Structure formats: C-alpha cells, structure tokens
Structure 1
Amino acid sequence: MHQLGVHIHSIDEMTGIQALERAHPTLPMKPGLEERCEFEYIRHGTQCLIANLEVATGEVTSPSVGDTRTEVDFAAYLDTLISQDPQGEWIFITDQLNTHQSEAVVRLVARYGEFKEELGVKGKSGILATMASRAEFLTDRTHRIRFIYTPKHSSWLNQIEIWFSILMRRLLKRGSFLSKEDLKSKILKFIDYFNQTMAKPFQWTYRGKPLHV
C-alpha cells in the first residue's frame, strides 16, 4: 500500500509460458566448462500468468496461473485484488490491451464504485459503446478505482515487466517442467521465494531525457 493509503499496482499478463521438460539432465559446471543445458525437450503445453507488483513494496501479490487470459479472467483477477480492501482507493498501471479496457472490467469497477448511472450497451451506446469510451471511464481521476495506461509500444514503463524478466532469467530459462501443473507450482513457489528474499521497490534510473539515435 502507498504511504497515503492508495493501493498502486503494476499489472499485466505473461502468456504462452511453455512447460518444457529437458530430454536429458543439465550437465553441471566444471573447471573450464560452463553449465550445459540439453537442447532437446518435451512440450507439455503452456500456461498464462496474471501478476501484479505492488509498487510501494516491490512484492508480487495474488498471482494467478491458468490456461487462458480472457477479459473474464482479467476481471476476476482484479476482483480478487479489490476485494481485499473493497472500500479502498486503487490505481492499476497496465498497457492498452483490449482485455484491460473490456466490458467486464468496466462493470467490475462500476460495481465496487457504486456507480449509479446506466453503462449503456457494448458497441452501441453509453460508456460501454467503444474501447475509447470504456478507457475514458476507467481512467477517470475522480473514481476511487482507476487505471493508468502506458503509451502504445511503451509497455517497458510498466514495472511488472521488469519482474517478468527476473522470472524468465531466474526460473523459466533454465528450468525443466514435467507438466503444466509442475510449471504452475514452480512459478508460485518462486514468487513466494522472491517476496521473502528479494522484493523491494524498483528505483527508476532513467531521467526522461530525449533519446538520440
């Protein structure tokens, strides 16, 4: 939680995570030889991780690993988060993917915010009419629950992307997974380990100066 009592969470999905089982054991490092990973592997399917990073603490909270990442999945994930403090103020930082600006998300925010006006009909009228109208509602600064969307092609500004790269380097790149269930279990265990031993707020070093090519 932010020091002013606002929950600020950086959130996104990591899709197509492959459960790859190495066909042969990895050869350990020896004097003069690097660790060698077997290049042949067995595919066991994929999983999708929906995760968020609490900006104030650097912890990854309430992760969800499953087969899909539909707008219903994303809205259900948000519901799990917001229900932890249903009367609190929440700010979600994410990209402009259509599932992040969906009818399901608008209806969820409206329900928690006790929004009394009609939402309209998706594709036809009101707040639900278009993605732009839904985004305008979801980013409204007067709402207790609102979104901040990163500019297009700038998802690297979202801090959860930094953590996804940590997950890739520390677990996924060198791991061997016997099934989708094994992959899910190891991801969740890594998140527990990360929160207990490595989590801390990320400090930006880029000062916003123009980049010259």
Structure 2
Amino acid sequence: MIPAKENGEFVARMEDVLDIYQWEYDEEYPVVCMDEQPMQLIKETRQPLPCEPGKPARYDYEYERNGTANHFLFTEPKAGWRKVSVRPTKTRRDWATEIKALLDEEYPNAEMVILVCDNLNTHTVGALYETFEPAEAKRLADRIDIRYTPKHGSWLNVAEIELSVLTKQCLTRRIRDIETLSREVTAWMNHRNESQSGVDWHFTTSEARIKLKRLYPQYQMN
C-alpha cells in the first residue's frame, strides 16, 4: 500500500531500492531480493477422482488441515535466478540459516551480496548472532548489505513478484505435507531457472519523483 500523504521515510527507502535496481550487473556485488510466504498444508479426506474424457478432476469439498510451512525465496533479477527453500517455521534462526546458505553455497566468491528485503523483525543482522557463534556471525554480516523496502512498500521487492508467480503456477491446489510441497516447489524452481526467466524492472527514481510526487515532503529554502 502506498501512503496517502507525504512520507519522508518511505521516500528515502524507496529511492534507495530503485537506485540499486539501476546498477550495472556485477558478479562481485550481486543484487538479491528475498521474501517469504507461509502456506497452509491441506490433506484430502477422500480420494480425488481423476480426469476422464469429458469430465474434469473432482475433489471433495471437505479437507483436513495438516500444519503450515514457509517459503524462503531468493532471486537475483538480473541473472534470471531464484532459489526457494521450504521450512516448517519462519523464525530468526531459520532466516539466519538461509542467509548462511545463500552466502556460502550460492555466492561463495562474491565480495558482498546486496540483499533487498522487507522489515520483518526476523530479517536482521542480530539474527545471525542469535544463531551462530560471534566470529561466524561477523563473517557473514561482513558479506551482506541489507537494504530494506519501505514499510507498506513490499511492491518494491522483486521477490514478491516471484512469489506471486510461484503461487499462481504451483500452489493453487491442495498440498498434503511439507515433503510434497518441497518437491513441487523445487521442480518449479528448476524449470524457471532453466528458462532464465527474469524481471525487466522499469520504474526508476526519476519516474517516482513525478508519479509519486505527493509522497515527497515539501521543504523551505532558507
């Protein structure tokens, strides 16, 4: 949701993220966006009837809730790459563990990863220190530069676009357990990476200053 009136904090973070999206690609300083999404796991109470000629698949309206899971999605828009991990929880330790995997397994040779994410209280450098011993936490913290989207400005995060695609293409049905969910999400991720689907981001800081002029605080010249 875009604020209804001027908001200096929103503007500052918005321009920071928009400027980052205009950087030239640099494998030493990759720009990675992350977002997460919970999902309800659903079990069938009766066996669905498969498709037949002239008849669609049929499902009973009753279902059984089978817990929840959480997707951690990372994407590098300019490289057409994304990674999705499925976890049963979304704690600070979960996030910190995902960050370690991102840095050590996906970007071991990068000087610094620029991470665009939202303002959840789990998305902090402090979470690294709560999960790893101090030297390891400091090593990871020194290799990540977190840039937060504005509050109520998650539309500025490219990872939210990827999560929307994931939901529409893979998750619009009942999935019974976390093992099945992980397999389905991995298959989606591999297919999308192989096709090198990327995001062509056009909205810039210059355009924001025109189209979202109402958000910019008025100032007085001395």
How far did 1:205 drift? 4.2
Distance 1:211 1:30 in 2: 56
The 3-state SS of whatever aligns with 1:183 is helix
How far did 1:102 drift? 4.8
Which residue does the alignment assign to 2:68? 46
Match of 2:94 among 65, 73, 81: 73
Residues 109 and 145, structure 1, Cα contact 8 Å, conserved in 2: no
Q: Give the total of aligned pairs.
A: 178
Deviation track 1:122-169 (CA, whole Å, cap 9, x = no partner) reads xxxxxxxxxxxxxxxxxxxxx652111000001111111001111111
Deviation track 1:38-92 (CA, whole Å, cap 9, x = no partner) reads 533232221111110112222212x321111111111111011111316621100
Deviation track 1:164-199 (CA, whole Å, cap 9, x = no partner) reads 1111111111x23232221222112221122123x3
Match of 1:200 among 190, 193, 197: 197
Distance 2:33 2:52 in 1: 37
Which residue does the alignment assign to 2:15? none
TM-score w.r.t. the length of structure 1 is 0.70
List runs of 5+ in structure 1 lacking aligned partners. Answer: 114-142
Letter of the aligned partner of 2:138 in structure 1? A
Task: Answer yes or no: is 1:6 the counterpart of 2:32.
Answer: no
Q: 1:167 to 1:76 in 2, by over 3 A?
A: same
Distance 1:67 1:19 in 2: 10
Larger relative contact order (C-alpha < 8 A, sep ≥ 6)?
Answer: 2
Letter of the aligned partner of 1:164 in structure 2? L
Task: Answer yes or no: is 1:92 the counterpart of 2:94.
Answer: no
The 3-state SS of whatever aligns with 2:89 is coil
Match of 1:188 among 175, 186, 189: 186
Task: Answer yes or no: is 1:170 the counterpart of 2:169.
Answer: yes
Q: 1:90 to 1:29 in 2, by over 3 A?
A: farther
Distance 1:187 1:156 in 2: 22
The 3-state SS of whatever aligns with 1:186 is helix
How far did 1:28 drift? 5.3
Identity of aligned residues (%): 27
Q: 1:60 to 1:40 in 2, by over 3 A?
A: same
Letter of the aligned partner of 2:96 in structure 1? A
TM-score w.r.t. the length of structure 2 is 0.67
List runs of 5+ in structure 2 lacking aligned partners. Answer: 1-23, 215-222
Distance 2:53 2:151 in 1: 46
Letter of the aligned partner of 2:91 in structure 1? T
Q: 1:146 to 1:27 in 2, by over 3 A?
A: same
Distance 2:53 2:168 in 1: 21
RMSD: 3.1
Distance 1:172 1:112 in 2: 32
Distance 1:27 1:186 in 2: 19
Distance 2:190 2:114 in 1: 24
The 3-state SS of whatever aligns with 2:190 is helix
The 3-state SS of whatever aligns with 2:198 is coil
Distance 1:71 1:178 in 2: 26
Distance 1:37 1:196 in 2: 32
Distance 2:116 2:49 in 1: 38
